[in-house]
Amino acid sequence: MSESKVKRGANRRRFFFVVTGLNAAAPAAISIFLTLVAHAWSQPVQGSLEVRWDEGAANCGATSHEPLQVHVYDPQTFILRQSLCASFEGNFLYLLVGSDKALLIDTGAVADSTQMPLAKKVLELLPDKDKGKISLLVVHTHGHLDHRAGDSQFASFASVKVVPADLETVRAFFGFANWPDGIAQVELGDRTIDVIPTPGHHPAHVAFYDRRTGILFSGDFLMPARLTMEDSAAYHASAVRVVDFVQAHPLTHILGGHIELDTAGHAYGMGSHYHPNERRLELSKEDLLALPAALEGFNGFYARYPSFILSNPRHNLAAVAISAVALLIFIVWAVRRLLRRHRRSTA
């Protein structure tokens, strides 16, 4: 056999082994590639929380404040904060925009559109679609008035649907067959929002998880503020439920309904229109993971933690009432004792 034929045979064998090796490795390579692509695709869209919120004023009448502050987290996610001078609640509202519709979470504490032009501002932020504005769905974290007072501003708009915040409607609209178990979804078009039951502060409380940004919009369930509970057992069950949920989902931030703490962790006075040195809005996964244990060890009245305060207003009110009654009984006893001594001394 000639030398050239030997070389050609060797080349064919090398080519065969190379091609065979590539073919054998192809499934693994493709699998790794698809995994990397899926991982990159599933990563939350990053946004900005670099904003200085209006701190209100000790004398709101002497200063001027915009009623509604808007921060663009990303081009499709807006954080709206109602002025502390308009309402001491200083509510945070959230507008999430998809390709088919938008979602507004809560409408805040002020009904009067002349004082709080919420509907006007929200509609301005919505993109155009079909010679009009994209449709808007208005939902609530819960039914306390400071989270739904602005509902009436949207009543005249045909493209807006407002979901009432009572438990029966919440269960029916989101399709909760076995409340508070189960997770519901709202589809906005290329943007899915998970709805998680979180009763305890309010019987119909829910939190909203945005798969696009990885943000949990927690309402009054978890925030840098007083976490007041109506049902402590339900609150603890909700905390466990949300912890289980986020263990399987990427979590970037937890954004609640209020800020009531300063940077040192002290609470502002109830009804205060002035929040100097206000702490940041967002909480972390670590804050959430600490919540179940905090609730388990709660004394039933008041407990302070680095990022939130636990409080049971009913228990606190009952304790104050009992203390007041005890003090009154002591005063009556002391007065009667003094009167008896006085009678003896003058007899």
Structure confidence at residue 336 (pLDDT): 73
What's the whole-model pTM score?
Answer: 0.81
Helix 232-246 with 285-296: angle, nearest 10 deg: 150
CA distance 114 to 148: 17
Whole-number average pLDDT of the chain: 87
**How, if at all, do strands 215-219 and 302-304 pair?**
unpaired
Q: How many residues does the chain have?
A: 347
CA distance 206 to 219: 8
Pseudo-torsion of CA 202, 96, 306, 264, nearest 10°?
A: -120
Determine which helix (DSSP H) or strand (DSSP E) holds 296, and give its type and residue range. helix 285-296
Q: In what order do the strands lie in the sheet with 160-162?
A: 68-74, 77-82, 92-97, 101-105, 135-139, 160-162
What does the longest C-alpha to C-alpha distance in the chain come to?
Answer: 146
Structure confidence at residue 337 (pLDDT): 73
Determine which helix (DSSP H) or strand (DSSP E) holds 138, and give its type and residue range. strand 135-139
**Could you read off the pLDDT of 104-113 as tens digits, one per residue?**
999 999 999 9
| Beta bridge pairs of residue 56 | 274
328 pLDDT band, cuts 50/70/90, is: low
333 pLDDT above the threshold of 70: no
Class of domain 60-311: alpha beta
Structure confidence at residue 331 (pLDDT): 72
How far from chain centre, in Å, is Cα 336?
55
Domain boundaries, the chain: 60-311, 318-347
Determine which helix (DSSP H) or strand (DSSP E) holds 29, and give its type and residue range. helix 3-42
18 pLDDT band, cuts 50/70/90, is: very low
DSSP 8-state class, residue 162: E
**Could you read off the pLDDT of 266-302 as tens digits, one per residue?**
999 999 999 999 999 999 999 999 999 999 999 998 9
Q: What percent of the chain has pLDDT over 90?
A: 76
CA distance 273 to 254: 24
Cα end-to-end distance, the chain, whole Å = 146
Token digits of residue 171:
């269960």
Determine which helix (DSSP H) or strand (DSSP E) holds 171, and give its type and residue range. helix 167-174
What is the CA angle 49-74-246, rounded to 5?
Answer: 70
With 0-12 / 13-18 / 19 or more C-beta atoms within 10 angstroms meaning exposed / middle / buried, residue 227 is buried
**Could you read off the pLDDT of 228-279 as tens digits, one per residue?**
999 999 999 999 999 999 999 999 999 999 999 999 999 999 999 999 999 9
CA distance 171 to 175: 6
Structure confidence at residue 330 (pLDDT): 60
**How, if at all, do strands 77-82 and 68-74 pair?**
antiparallel
